[in-house]
Amino acid sequence: MKRISKLWEKLIEKDNFYLAWRLTKKGRTKRWDIRKFEKNLDENLERLRQKVISGNFKTSEYKNKIVNENSKRRLIYILPLPDRIVQHALINVIEDVFTKRFIDQTYGCIRGRGQMKGSEYVRKHIKKYEWCLKTDIKKFYPTMDQQILYDEICKVIKDKKILAMLKDIVFSIEGGKNCPIGNLCSQLFGNIYLNKFDKFVKHELKVKHYCRYCDDCVFFGNTKEELFEIQKRVENFIRTELQQDLSFSEVFRTKQGIDFLGYRHFQGYTILRKRTATKFKRAMNKIKSGKDRRTLLEKLSTINSYKGYAEHCYTYNLIRKLEMNKTIANLTIKEFKEVGAKPELPITGKKVSILSLFGKSLIILAWKEISVDNRPTAKIQFTLEDDEEGKILVVFTSSSTIRKQLTDIDRANFPIKAVLKKQGEAYYLE
């Protein structure tokens, strides 16, 4: 396939840098470095763009932190904000160039694919085959050979300035090995690195049904002998061509279930991986017990994320047992009109005599108790039902009956319709 050039002009466009900024900022608006950069956004972006254009931009020194994930300790590499913006700008330009060259059964970190698509592929083909080979590369990113990666990039990209920037990122860690976990480019680099392995599997091994998510691979076959032969050739390719080793490689019957992408896939159904279900339960119990001190939106995000993940498999009993829907309903943000008290607005309008209102249908808008000549009096704001103009009127009454009637009505129920009546000397509403 023809190597691609003329990418530099796309990279250094102002619009590309503004897009890169929006992608970098997304979900991180409260971070101090984001706020500081945004104070002089146009000036800071232009300065960064000119630094790239001049060729003076180099990958900064990494900061490290250790994260415990699924009982594994991972070393995460963190770059300053300007580096992340530049890498976003670079990915905007080169991602589609490489993605077009990937096979359709590569699902990791590619727009329009992802975990659900990979799981659907396994569900579809587990019913057709009796045997399966599952492999995993040992410490894939830390053991990635930088020269092999850069050679694969050079097979696709011809633009020398783009290659210079990519080379600077690829070799940003000394030692010849390592693709830093945490780098924005690392996920794309992982797919580029294993693309020739995908081609080897499809074109040389002739495996009809195979899928990969990052470095986790699943091969389907009709016989175990066929898959044992594939297993040997795969191990040899990984060791000789990629300079890596497998941490897991096993041939087994598909009826045992395939543990892949957080699910356990069986021929007739799919369930959550036990470890995923345990994390799910812990998170839900922490929220329900009140021990989760995060914001309401963060807790809702966690629950909806797990629920969305769980709804793609058989988890009806789990969702019901954890009372997920009830918890979401309790946490859901309510509108003010559903919970807030109605405001006590000033009661104004044209004053009329109560004697002119007998037998007339009133729409009472509001009322309040006031004191007139040291006597408790009800000040009532209303409009006449048959008044097409809807004029706002006010009437005063010291009737204890009317005051008690109005007091017994919850203010949230106003406006109400009533007829003013008189029995003997007493005024009342009906």
Q: Find the Cα–Cα–Cα–Cα dihedral 126, 127, 129, 134, rounded to 10°.
A: 10
Amino acid letter at 151?
Answer: D
**In the structure, what pLDDT confidence band is assigned to residue 15 with cuts at 50, 70 and 90?**
very high
Residues 99-134: tens digit of each pLDDT: 999 999 999 989 889 899 999 999 999 999 999 999
DSSP letters spanning 236-281: HHHHHHS---EEEEEEEEGGG-EEETTEEE-SS-EEE-HHHHHHHH
Residues 303-347: tens digit of each pLDDT: 888 888 888 888 888 888 887 777 777 776 666 555 555 656 667
| Mean pLDDT, residues 55-65 taken together | 92
Q: Does residue 47 surpass a pLDDT of 80? A: yes
Q: H/E element holding 402? A: helix 400-407
pLDDT of residue 360: 81
Task: Compute the distance between CA of residue 164 and CA of residue 187 in angstroms, rounded to an integer.
Answer: 19
Decide: 175 and 215 in contact? Cβ < 8 Å: no
Q: Does residue 297 surpass a pLDDT of 90? A: no
Task: Compute the distance between CA of residue 68 and CA of residue 71 in angstroms, rounded to an integer.
Answer: 6
pLDDT of residue 412: 72
Share of the chain above pLDDT 90, in %: 53
The β-bridge relationship of strands 210-213 and 131-137 is unpaired
Residues 179-207: tens digit of each pLDDT: 999 899 999 999 999 999 999 999 999 99
Q: What is the pTM of this model?
A: 0.74
For residue 407, CA distances in Å to 2, 373, 398, 403 come to 84, 21, 13, 6
Mean residue pLDDT of the chain comes to 87
Decide: 204 and 91 in contact? Cβ < 8 Å: no
